[in-house]
Amino acid sequence: MSSQASSTKTWPKVLIGLLVGVVIGIILLWFSVLFNYSYLGLNIFDEVNIFKLNEDIKAQLLRGANISQTTANPTKKAETADWKNYEDSQQKYSLKYDPSFRVETLDETTVNFLSSDYKLSDSNKLWPSSGFRIQVTVVSKGPYKNLDVYESTLIEEENKINKSVIMIDGSYWRSFDFEAGDLSKSSMTFTMRGNLLYVISVDAELTEQTSSQNIYKLMLATFKFLD
């Protein structure tokens, strides 16, 4: 009889202990998420898939990538206030570009934004001898199941410089720089959204590196998805 009474008194304590443990676990998990986002410089209230995002960020951090944000803050908005707007209703995106640039549409998937002094090298028609080109390409992701597969088809890992994960319009993009021969340097920024692969790149003659990167980052900051 006394054994049953003792057992009856013990169960509420066990249940209370379990409940307290669960509450403490939830609180620790919440602070862990807050700490990780704060450490990475991210806003926990960004409208992103937190679980999918963390996996990609972890993978990129293991590869030596930095985490940063490219957003249209007041300073950048002021710098691009008089820029022209480019909108592609078929590929569902828009961005702004320097009004001095020439816009060259290659096909329904690719458009070039060329600085006024842009000229291809006589010895290599792939790279500029002066000025720079910013190119936006949107294609079906096709055989690329994810960003790892796509990135593996680009250039060797050891040739990538300044690897990072960048936030643009609520989505996270991978980015890196690489030297394209002796005369030019390039940057690539890319992401997947639905069944589409978005790639924004810049190719610049070496003496144009500072100005091309400034323009490139400003254009990235104005990029918006239209869907």
Specify the CATH number for the domain of residue 150.
3.40.1000.10
- Kindly state whether residues 213 and 132 are assigned to the same domain: yes
DSSP string of 163-178? EEEEEETTEEEEEEEE
pLDDT at 7: 52
pTM, two decimals, is 0.67
Residue 3 vs residue 182, higher pLDDT: 182
Q: Which domain holds residue 8?
A: 2-40
54 is a domain residue: no
Write out pLDDT tens, residues 127-175.
Answer: 655 678 899 999 998 888 888 888 888 878 777 878 888 888 888 899 8
- Kindly state whether residues 140 and 220 are assigned to the same domain: yes
Residue 127 vs residue 99, higher pLDDT: 99
pLDDT at 32: 55
Query: Where is mean pLDDT largest: 7-21, 113-127, 130-144, 201-215?
Result: 130-144
Q: What average pLDDT does the segment 111-126 reach?
A: 73
- Kindly state whether residues 104 and 203 are assigned to the same domain: yes
- Kindly state whether residues 31 and 107 are assigned to the same domain: no
- Kindly state whether residues 212 and 142 are assigned to the same domain: yes
pLDDT at 111: 96
- DSSP, collapsed to helix, strand or coil, labels residue 98 as coil
115 is a domain residue: yes
Number of domains in the chain: 2
118 is a domain residue: yes
**Token representation of residue 224:** 């918006």
- Kindly state whether residues 35 and 84 are assigned to the same domain: no
61 is a domain residue: no
45 is a domain residue: no
- Kindly state whether residues 136 and 188 are assigned to the same domain: yes
Q: How many residues does the chain have?
A: 227
If you search the block for the tokens 């060329």, which residue do you land on?
A: 114
52 is a domain residue: no
Sign of the CA dihedral running 73, 186, 166, 88 = positive
- Kindly state whether residues 18 and 98 are assigned to the same domain: no
93 is a domain residue: yes
**Token representation of residue 83:** 């820029």
pLDDT at 82: 92
- Kindly state whether residues 98 and 188 are assigned to the same domain: yes
Write out pLDDT tens, residues 29-49.
Answer: 665 544 444 434 444 333 333
